[in-house]
Every structure is written in structure tokens, then in C-alpha cells.
């Protein structure tokens, strides 16, 4: 089967990983610190804190800003993490409609009320959310969910807090993991000094061992979560960061080749450019039949996303019409990852052309 996404690491990273495993410490320690420093430099943020997932980062973002209760506005075109953290922090989640082409939250559709306490905007598929336009309408906490935008130039530069994902199918995969970046010193100090990533314990075991005299004693003054990253994953992260440019280039090449191949197919609308190409998600007629046909021919496809507004649990967050979100019925994500070979991509293109040539499909409405 030709996969939609496929994580890879290189030989150098494997060797670094062995060194970390043999170093005598591979929990939360020096590699995590190094990864935080390098990542902050890469995205141009003052502060970075590595965590166990983007979900954890989003939850912590609300916690450090002391936002609980009130309304959280977000997009339905996302994975459940973006909305669930609102519920975890006792907030009332409301969906805002999207731009049907970028698939990002449409700031024009925002309805801000006195209850609105935070907005989480997703850089959908790697295309930047319009934080400036959101800021014009809302002066409260804006969190950027950059799970797909690692690294789109400009991501992480405008929101109050940005949350990143290194989960297995993301553009910089390390297995599972996330990062918070911010330029806000107060938020950073809370993250570092209140033990929010380790159940309220302020100093990690590694930090206490590193001090002149090891002390087993510690105090707990806050309620925290168990969200820290470990050195094994940070070592992979450091390796992946070095090859991020090269991996992104390959994905962009694949994006351009699909766009060129499909430009004359009337039943397909190619996606708006994405720098990271987290997903190559096109709009197409007969989406489900095409997906089935490709699957029968050994080609996996997916849908990013079946919106949360279609999920039973999340119907309660639909408080206004979401007409543009209907575009999801036409969305199909094709194989796009840096391990995809030219021959594999040629086969995907050939089969899609065959599908539309053989059938009497109407053009895309
Ligand atoms: C837009 C978005 N936000 C957040 C997440 C959650 O990321 P993680 O798996 O690192 O918690 C995902 C993962 O699929 C995502 O697509």
C-alpha cells in the first residue's frame, strides 16, 4: 500500500539516539534543553518548552494564561485536540466557520461576546491562520495551533502562544511530542517555575542530580500535569530539525507535481499552496468512489478533516451555521511524504486520471 504519510529518520539520528541511550540518562534531561534552545532559534521565538504532545501544549497554553471558564472559539476543521482542551479547562467551546479554500478559521465569521476568553486558530495543512485579522476583532488570548506548520515561515510569530506537534505523521515526526513557544516571559516563567509539566514538581530529577549536592527533597505548590518531553524523543527532534528543510523541499516538489498533473481535470480543485504540505488535500467530485478506487489499486487516501461539527459529541459546539465547512465532503488527502518515490507518485497520478477518464463525472461544482 502506498501510504498517505510515512515518518522516517536518518542514520545520523539513529547513531545519536544510541549515544543518548548509552549516556546513563534518557528521561527529561539535557537533550530536551538542547532541543528547546535549537527549536526556539529555528522559529525565532524567545522561549520554548518541549512537551509530550501538541495536545499537552494546547492544554498548558490555557493553563499558563489562567484561562478557564468562559468561551473558547476554534475551528471545526481540525483534530479533536484543538477543541478538547477547552472542555478540559471548563470552557464552552464554539466553532467558527472556515475559509473553504485555505481551510483556516475565517476571521470575518468570528462572533466575539463578553464570554469569549480565548481563540485557538489552526495553521490548517501548513497555511498560516490570519492572526492579524483575528487580533483586530479580539484582544484576548490567541493561541496558534501550529501542529501542521513545522515549519512555515512566520508560524509562531504573532499569537500569544504557539503549540507545535512532532507526532508520528507530522512534518517533523519524532514519534510523539510537542513544543510551546512564546515571547511572553510571564507565561514562560509559569511553565518553568510552577512545575506545570510535572505534576507541580519544579525541578526535574536530572536538574537535582546536576546540582552540587543531590537533594531528594522538593516542595509542591501547584497542580500540574505530566506533560514533559524525554531525552530519547528530543534526540530524534534535534536530528529531524537538521533535515527539516530537505524534507519540506521534497514535500513541496510532490505538491507542485500533483498540481501540474491535475490542472486540467475539471473534477479536481488543487489545494492552496502550503509551505509544509502537511497534507495534500484536494477538493474533488465523487470523493468516496475515488478513494475506494485508489484503495483497490494499493493507494491509501484520507480526509483532513471530517470536521468536529460532524462528530456526535461536538454537535453542542455548533452554535451558528457553518456553510463553508461543508467543503469537507469533497476533501481527499493523497500520499505526500518525503519517502514517496517518483514512481509511486506517478502511479497515484495515473490512477486518478484513469478514474476520471473512465467515468462520466460532472465537473467540480
Ligand atoms: C491541528 C492539530 N492540532 C493538534 C493535534 C494534536 O497533536 P498531538 O498528537 O501532538 O497531540 C493534531 C494532530 O493530529 C492536529 O492535526
Specify the pLDDT at position 145: 98
Specify the pLDDT at position 226: 97
Question: Residue 63: inside a domain, yes or no?
Answer: yes
Question: Residue 27: inside a domain, yes or no?
Answer: yes
Specify the pLDDT at position 302: 98
Contact 116, 86 (CB under 8 A): no
**Do residues 275 and 217 both lie within one domain?**
no
Residue 275: domain span: 244-360
Query: Please, what is the Cα angle at 229 between 225 and 234, to 5 degrees?
Result: 170
The mean pLDDT of the chain is 96
One DSSP character per residue, 335-364 reads P--TT--HHHHHHHHHHHHHHHHHS-PPPP
Nearest CA to ligand 1 atom 15: 79
**Do residues 232 and 355 both lie within one domain?**
no
d(CA 124, ligand 1 centre) in Å: 11
d(CA 164, ligand 1 centre) in Å: 8
Question: Residue 6: inside a domain, yes or no?
Answer: no
d(CA 48, ligand 1 centre) in Å: 18
Which tens digits make up the pLDDT trace of 9-20?
Answer: 999 999 999 999
Residue 359 has pLDDT above 80, yes or no: no
Residue 254 has pLDDT above 80, yes or no: yes
**Do residues 339 and 277 both lie within one domain?**
yes
Where does ligand 1 bind, in terms of residues with CB under 6 Å? 53-55, 78-79, 81-82, 122, 145, 147-148, 165, 167, 178
* Residue 80 burial (10 A CB sphere; 0-12, 13-18, 19+): middle
The pLDDT confidence band at residue 309, using thresholds 50, 70 and 90, is very high
**Do residues 91 and 205 both lie within one domain?**
yes
Specify the pLDDT at position 239: 98
Closest ligand 1 atom, CA of 178?
10
Q: Which of 239, 262, 289 is the last residue of a domain?
A: 239
Contact 49, 32 (CB under 8 A): no
pTM, two decimal places: 0.97
Closest ligand 1 atom, CA of 305?
16
Q: What is the CATH number of the domain that holds 320?
A: 3.90.1150.10
Distance in angstroms (rounded) separating the CA atoms of residues 46 and 49: 11
Please, which residues bridge with residue 118 across strands?
Answer: 72, 141
Higher-confidence position of 201 and 215: 201
d(CA 55, ligand 1 centre) in Å: 6
* Residue matched to cell numbers 464554539: 94
**Do residues 126 and 272 both lie within one domain?**
no
Closest CA to 117 of 154, 168, 74, 165: 74
Q: Which of 239, 268, 287 is the last residue of a domain?
A: 239
Closest CA to 162 of 308, 45, 18, 13: 45
**Do residues 295 and 258 both lie within one domain?**
yes
Specify the pLDDT at position 273: 98
Which tens digits make up the pLDDT trace of 99-151?
Answer: 999 999 999 999 999 999 999 999 999 999 999 999 999 999 999 999 999 99
Rg from Cα positions in the chain: 21
Specify the pLDDT at position 215: 79
Closest ligand 1 atom, CA of 145?
3
d(CA 107, ligand 1 centre) in Å: 21
Three-class secondary structure of residue 151 per DSSP: coil
Specify the pLDDT at position 203: 82
Which tens digits make up the pLDDT trace of 319-348?
Answer: 999 999 999 999 999 999 999 999 999 999
Which tens digits make up the pLDDT trace of 163-172?
Answer: 999 999 999 9
Specify the pLDDT at position 261: 98
**Do residues 304 and 231 both lie within one domain?**
no
The end-to-end CA distance of the chain, in Å, is 31
Contact 159, 142 (CB under 8 A): yes
The pLDDT confidence band at residue 301, using thresholds 50, 70 and 90, is very high
Share of the chain above pLDDT 70, in %: 100
Asked which of 209-213, 232-236, 246-250 is least confident by mean pLDDT, the reply is: 209-213
Ligand 1 pocket test target in 165, 229, 274 with most atoms within 8 Å of CB: 165
Mean pLDDT, range 51-68, rounded to an integer: 97
Contact 361, 285 (CB under 8 A): yes
d(CA 360, ligand 1 centre) in Å: 38
Contact 278, 288 (CB under 8 A): no
Tally of structural domains, the chain: 2
Question: Residue 123: inside a domain, yes or no?
Answer: yes
Higher-confidence position of 175 and 359: 175
Region of 165 on the Ramachandran plot (φ > 0 left; ψ -120 to 50 alpha; else beta): beta
Amino acid at each position: 500500500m502506498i501510504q498517505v504519510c510515512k515518518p522516517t529518520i536518518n542514520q545520523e539520528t539513529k547513531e545519536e539516539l544510541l549515544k543518548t541511550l548509552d549516556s546513563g540518562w534518557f528521561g527529561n534531561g539535557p537533550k530536551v534543553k538542547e532541543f528547546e534552545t535549537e527549536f526556539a532559534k529555528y522559529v525565532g521565538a524567545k522561549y520554548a518548552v518541549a512537551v509530550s504532545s501538541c495536545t499537552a501544549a494546547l492544554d498548558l497554553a490555557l493553563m499558563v494564561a489562567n484561562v478557564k471558564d468562559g468561551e473558547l472559539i476554534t475551528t471545526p476543521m481540525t483534530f479533536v485536540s484543538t477543541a478538547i482542551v477547552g472542555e478540559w479547562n471548563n470552557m464552552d467551546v464554539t466553532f467558527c466557520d472556515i475559509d473553504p479554500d485555505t481551510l483556516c478559521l475565517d476571521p470575518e465569521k468570528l462572533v466575539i461576546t463578553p464570554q469569549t476568553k480565548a481563540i485557538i486558530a489552526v495553521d490548517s495543512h501548513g497555511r498560516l491562520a490570519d492572526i492579524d485579522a483575528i487580533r483586530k476583532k479580539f484582544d484576548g488570548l490567541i493561541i496558534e495551533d501550529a501542529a501542521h506548520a513545522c515549519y512555515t515561515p512566520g508560524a509562531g510569530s504573532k499569537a500569544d502562544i504557539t503549540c507545535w506537534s512532532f507526532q508520528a505523521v507530522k512534518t517533523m515526526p519524532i514519534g510523539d511530542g510537542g513544543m510551546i513557544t512564546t515571547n511572553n516571559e510571564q507565561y514562560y516563567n509559569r511553565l518553568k517555575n510552577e512545575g506545570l509539566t510535572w505534576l507541580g514538581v519544579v525541578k526535574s530529577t536530572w536538574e537535582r542530580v546536576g546540582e552540587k549536592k543531590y537533594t531528594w527533597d522538593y516542595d509542591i505548590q501547584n497542580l500540574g500535569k505530566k506533560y514533559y518531553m524525554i531525552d530519547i524523543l528530543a534526540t530524534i527532534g534535534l536530528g529531524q530539525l537538521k533535515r527539516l528543510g530537505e524534507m519540506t523541499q521534497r514535500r513541496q516538489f510532490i505538491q507542485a507535481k500533483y498540481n501540474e498533473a491535475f490542472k486540467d481535470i475539471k473534477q479536481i480543485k488543487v489545494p492552496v499552496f502550503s509551505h509544509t504540505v502537511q497534507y495534500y488535500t484536494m477538493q474533488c467530485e465523487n470523493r468516496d468512489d475515488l478513494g475506494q478506487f485508489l484503495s483497490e489499486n494499493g493507494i491509501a487516501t484520507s480526509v483532513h478533516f471530517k470536521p468536529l461539527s460532524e462528530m456526535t459529541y461536538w454537535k453542542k459546539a455548533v452554535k451558528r451555521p457553518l456553510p463553508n465547512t461543508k467543503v469537507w465532503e469533497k476533501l481527499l488527502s493523497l500520499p505526500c511524504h518525503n519517502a514517496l518515490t517518483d514512481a509511486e507518485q506517478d502511479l497515484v497520478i495515473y490512477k486518478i486520471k484513469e478514474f476520471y477518464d473512465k467515468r462520466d463525472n460532472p465537473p467540480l461544482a
